[in-house]
Amino acid sequence: MIADGQLQLQHLPALRGALLDWWEVHGRHAIPWKQGSCGTLAASGKPLDPYPIWIAEVMLQQTQLQVVLPYWQRWMAAFPNLEALAAAEEHQLLLLWQGLGYYSRARRLQQGARQLAGQPWPRTLEGWLALPGIGRSTAGSILSSAFDLAFAILDGNVKRVLARLTACPRPPARELSGFWRLSELLLDPQRPRAFNQALMDLGATVCTPRNPRCGHCPLMEHCAAYAAGTPAHYPVKDTPRELPFQVIGVGVVLNGAGQVLIDQRLNEGLLGGLWEFPGGKQEPGEAIEATIARELMEELAITVEVGEPLITLEHAYSHKKLRFVVHLCQWLSGEPQPLACQQVRWVEPAQLSGFPFPAANARIIAALLERLAVADAAVGSDHPGDTAAAA
Ligand code: SF4
């Protein structure tokens, strides 16, 4: 049970006041989607354009502010409004999202834009929750940021601050209703936009995951974890579970014309719609070369000669760890068929940067381009007299 009783009602005005006073001086006031039209912080109660806020909030769902900023700027330059987003090509969306992960978010933004076209912006929780990919905290954040409406938020930063304020003995994920109740209780109904932002800023800059700077915290005298001398114990975590580990054999297949084979994943799942080099899971006891040959036959109906290793890399997702063992392959026979993907293409290696790939594939591309450059240089140096001879 979350100990919200420790934050007694009579202390609420003091707590809110302390947090807002701190935020006026130390808050992150330069966030571009929180600015009014004249480039200064929006006045209390004054509405802001929800479109840039919506884009930013969806980007921020899995990613920190500093990482999101350049993505948001590029996105806003390419799709400055709802209409531009609704009309955009999916390929372009995915390219601009490349590196942010959870690519279904980009597609859902476009679905939302098409759903919202010609409608007034929603001003209710239900209205935002009806859009794909929007949860309660994102909806609350958009509503409070855009319209200064009194909706609570509960992102990772806020959960951490609340867990410490109350010294909650259970992981936030197991106390969600209590945390929501607490966030609603704390919210300043007079200044919800500023209050929510202040809470997030406090979590991001003072009440940080490691080494919270309690000596600079405006909530210090209200904080149960600080009083107990144990801020680092919170939020309490579930016992970490061992992540499943898989080895993936990947083939970078070249044909006689020097083109490389790539395929586009189905739209479902974590990396849906992105391009990749074909491959799949290694079976127990199987040599990696056999894995690659088998996967390419099963998924693309092609026969290849599996050649030398290109690169091995590890990548951890939240639910599994993968090791990609990548080999160069020579295409032998069979017209590539998209048996387990949307489409397959032969492309020039120099064209690879024009396709959206998952982050792990960027290193495969770099290794391939480097290997091809070395091979070209070797061919050149094997025939040093060619030019002179020709002349
Ligand atoms: S006093 Fe320390 S632990 Fe408590 S909210 Fe402030 S920074 Fe976090």
- Give Cα 130 distance to the centre of its chain: 21
- For atom 8 of ligand 1, the residue with the nearest CA is 207
Q: For 349-379, write each residue's pLDDT tens digit.
A: 999 999 999 888 889 999 999 999 877 777 6
Q: Give the CA angle between residues 374, 274, 133 to the nearest 5°.
A: 145
Q: How far is CA 215 from CA 127, 209, 219, 221, 234, in A?
A: 41, 15, 10, 10, 17
Tokens of 164: 């410490």
Residue 327 has pLDDT above 80, yes or no: yes
Residue 383 has pLDDT above 80, yes or no: no
What is the spatial distance between Cα 281 and Cα 247, in angstroms, rounded to a whole number? 6
- Give Cα 106 distance to the centre of its chain: 10
What is the spatial distance between Cα 17 and Cα 13, in angstroms, rounded to a whole number? 6
Residue 77 has pLDDT above 90, yes or no: yes
Q: For 204-239, write each residue's pLDDT tens digit.
A: 999 999 999 999 999 999 999 999 999 999 999 988
Lining ligand 1 with CB less than 6 A are: 161, 164-165, 206-207, 212, 214, 217, 219-220, 223, 225-226, 231
Q: How many residues does the chain have?
A: 391
Q: Cβ(81)–Cβ(51) under 8 Å? A: yes
- The CATH-assigned architecture of domain 12-233 is Orthogonal Bundle (1.10)
Ligand 1 atom with the shortest distance to the CA of 160: 8
* pLDDT at residue 49 in the model: 95
Q: For 20-71, write each residue's pLDDT tens digit.
A: 999 999 999 999 999 876 667 777 878 999 999 999 999 999 788 999 999 9
According to CATH, the superfamily of the domain at 245-382 is Nucleoside Triphosphate Pyrophosphohydrolase (3.90.79.10)
Which has the closest alpha carbon to 127: 210, 360, 136? 136
What is the spatial distance between Cα 202 and Cα 16, in angstroms, rounded to a whole number? 12
Measured in Å, residue 66 CA sits from the centre of ligand 1 at 22
Element (H, E) at 315: strand 303-316
Residue 269 has pLDDT above 80, yes or no: no
Phi-psi region of 390 (alpha: psi -120 to 50; beta: other; left: phi over 0): alpha
| pLDDT range class, residue 391, cuts 50, 70, 90 | very low
What is residue 240's DSSP assignment? P
What is residue 353's DSSP assignment? G
Which of residues 53 and 391 earns the better pLDDT score? 53
Least confident residue range of 26-40, 100-114, 340-354 = 26-40
Query: What string of DSSP letters covers 141-190?
Result: HHHHHHH--------HHHHHHHHHHHT-SS-GGG-HHHHHHHHHHHS-TT
- For atom 3 of ligand 1, the residue with the nearest CA is 231
Q: Cβ(116)–Cβ(103) under 8 Å? A: no
| pLDDT range class, residue 74, cuts 50, 70, 90 | very high
> Catalytic residue positions?
57
Residue 259 has pLDDT above 90, yes or no: yes
Name the CA radius of gyration of the chain, rounded. 26
Residue 144 has pLDDT above 70, yes or no: yes
Q: Cβ(93)–Cβ(110) under 8 Å? A: yes
What's the mean pLDDT when you consider all of the chain? Answer: 91
* pLDDT at residue 387 in the model: 35
Domain boundaries along the sequence of the chain: 12-233, 245-382
| Rounded mean pLDDT, 123-138 | 96
- Give Cα 292 distance to the centre of its chain: 29
Percent of all residues in the chain with a pLDDT value above 90, rounded to a whole number = 78
* pLDDT at residue 379 in the model: 66
| Rounded mean pLDDT, 174-182 | 95
Q: Write phi, then psi, for 94 (nearest 5 degrees).
A: -70, -35
* pLDDT at residue 39 in the model: 64
Q: How far is CA 370 from CA 90, 210, 279, 364, 382, in A?
A: 30, 39, 21, 10, 18
- For atom 1 of ligand 1, the residue with the nearest CA is 220
* pLDDT at residue 73 in the model: 97
